[in-house]
Chains A and B, each alone.
Chain A
Amino acid sequence: MADESKAPQSPEGSKPATSGSSPAPPAAGAPASAAPKPAAPAAAPPPPVQVPLDNELSRRYRERFGGAILDAIEDRKQSILIVGAAQWLEIARYSRDTEQFDLLEDFTAVDWPRREKRFDLVAQLYSFPLNMRLRLKAALGGQEETDSLSSVWPTANWLEREIFDLFGIVFRGHPALKRILLPDEWQGHPLRKDYDILQQDTAWVRENLGIESGQ
């Protein structure tokens, strides 16, 4: 199964199944406060999963944005750029215009409650001409706002509405930021880790569906 970070190489050699050489903190870039997990690799230690990425793509980004590019990793042969949230829109526009990443394949967020910048914005870019993928990640505080990418890629419109709906991250400059999946008056953002799976917006359920228990 060839991976697609650079030119499609031959399928990877069969690696021993379990790996996890060093319990590296989740690829969250910033020095994670997450307690390192004791990894108990059963088999012999396989090659490291995360390798610092150093190719002409990351070099171009670093020389263009300097400090804004916090880290460049290659995780399982997929290139990841961890950037500062401040230049998020600028980097996106640069990626689309000069680096030819014309398709925003996916845009989502990951919630790391134990970090002080709890949200990770994850934008999955794909370039038709180069047949190459790149993942831009930015760490974001709980209450922080960021710029909307819908001016760069119109497909971000609904994707950002879903992130706002499920995570509560506000995007400045979004044409019509309101909930897309949940009812408009719903309280709470379900995909946050502190939103328990059994929790419902009891008020909304009682008022609209008339179920007393609210469940």
Chain B
Amino acid sequence: MTNTLHDRTLPKADTILGADELVINMGPQHPSTHGVLRVKLKLDGERVIGSECVIGYLHRGVEKIAENRSYQQFAPYVDRMDYVSAVSNGLGYCEAVEKLLMAEAPPRARVIRTILTELQRIASHLLWLGTHALDIGALTPLFYCMREREEILKIFEKYCGARLTTHAFRIGGLQYEAYDTLEKDVERFCKSFEARIQEYSDLLTSNSIWIGRTRNVGLLNAADCIALGASGPVLRASGVKWDLRKATPYAAYDQYKFEIPVGTNGDTYDRYLVRIEEMRQSRLICLQAIENIPAGPIMARVGKVLKPPPGEVYHAIEGPKGILGYYIVSDGGTQPYRVRIRPPSFINLQALDKMIRGHLVTDVVAIIGTLDIVLGEVDR
């Protein structure tokens, strides 16, 4: 096991890439790198034989800021990391701090949190599907996905006033009571959403050009996934039937029945199928959840000034991109001593070099899309 990931056959140059073959620079301002990611591709003709990711363009030092903010003050920063799924970032952070305090959100808060997190997962997958299809050349799915995503963002706006960086949750529960037509809105969305997913798969699933562009592209088998720490849809598409919502249930996930979609050989087409199926499952969860939202308080008694007892906690949730973990160390003060965020996009991106070896340049674009990375989370 001595071979390193990067360059088994390449000479040890100062940079990771030996500079003899053709090296092209993709990014950081590239239409399809989903943000400021720069990939140095080493090509032999059209085939990629080596790559090096240069990241850090969007590094804001979130973890350093956390050490100079109180627990509640840091909550909005968490939304700015993976700005596409702000609600689930917030859920992860709030639950981690609640665990640190050994407090617990009341049942009503946990159910509403589950509904909003599942809606956010659908919105994140919709954005992924739109941009991924656009990179591979299908112009139309983007607009269909944006139309649905708009519905979800309207629900968020009605609930907490913001669409993207929502800061919807508070440590200990919720800030706002569910607005009166929340159940009806979510129900209307879920009812119409099934037909819409059918529209996407009619356009893409059985489309021979789409299959031609995605089948056997960006192969990553189960062993590689676990070794590289890839998680979420990338891991499930390689055949590992594992989801944190089932393995270690949090919020109110243990009360609902839903399936975990699994792929077979871990290529771009399987990841596409897994994410489409995940959207369907999230829709089912929302439908089950809005049937009975338990009455009761929406905020646990955690007091205004949070001074958690010294110690540390690690809490991970199943974000749309993968395992989103929070490791918080408290020294008893009002400000966290250390907050470490386990970024799924950052770790999934590490698998990029392994996946694009031997492919053509056009496939690199598809593979970056299938990893569903958000640079805000990669750079933190």
Contact = CB atoms under 8 A, between A and B. Distances in A.
User: In the complex, A touching B, CB below 8 Å?
Assistant: yes
B102 A76 contact: yes
A173 B145 CA distance: 46
Interface string A157-170: 11100000010000
A190 B64 contact: yes
Contacts of A2: 248-249, 254
A17 B311 contact: no
B219 interface: no
B26 interface: no
A193 B64 CA distance: 9
Contact of A103 (B56, B226, B300, B313): B226
Interface residues of B, number: 63
A157 B226 CA distance: 14
Contact of B56 (A50, A150, A181, A197): A181
Interface stretch (B120-128, B160-168, B192-200, B302-310): B302-310
A17 B103 contact: yes
A193 B336 CA distance: 13
Contacts of B300: 17
Nearest to B333: A37
Interface stretch (A53-61, A104-112, A138-146, A205-213): A104-112
A76 B325 CA distance: 16
Contacts of A104: 229
Contact of A102 (B226, B309, B325, B329): B226
A212 B313 CA distance: 42
A119 B65 CA distance: 19
A180 B56 contact: yes
Interface string A130-159: 010101000000000000001101110111
B309 A39 contact: yes
Contact of A155 (B4, B98, B228, B247): B228
A34 B59 CA distance: 32
Classify the secondary structure of A's interface with B: loop
A18 interface: yes
A26 B104 contact: no
A12 B104 contact: yes
Nearest to B105: A1
A105 B303 contact: no
Interface residues of A, number: 64
A46 interface: yes
Interface in A94-126: 102-106, 108, 110-111, 122, 124
A19 interface: yes
A190 B332 contact: no
A154 B5 CA distance: 7
Interface string B27-71: 000000000000000000000000000011001010111011000
Given A8-B249, A176-B16, A37 B332 contact: yes
Interface string B215-257: 0000000000011110000000000101000011111001000
Q: Closest 4 interchain pairs by CB? A: A155-B229, A175-B4, A20-B309, A181-B56
Given A158-B350, A179-B56, A180-B56, 10 more contacts: A8-B249, A17-B303, A24-B310, A25-B310, A131-B247, A133-B314, A155-B347, A157-B4, A181-B59, A191-B63
14 contacts: A12-B104, A17-B303, A26-B311, A27-B310, A37-B331, A75-B313, A110-B338, A110-B340, A124-B342, A128-B226, A150-B5, A155-B227, A155-B350, A182-B56
Interface of B: 1-2, 4-6, 16, 55-56, 59, 61, 63-65, 67-68, 95, 98-104, 226-229, 240, 242, 247-251, 254, 300-303, 307, 309-314, 316, 323, 325, 327, 329, 331-333, 337-338, 340, 342, 346-347, 350, 379-380
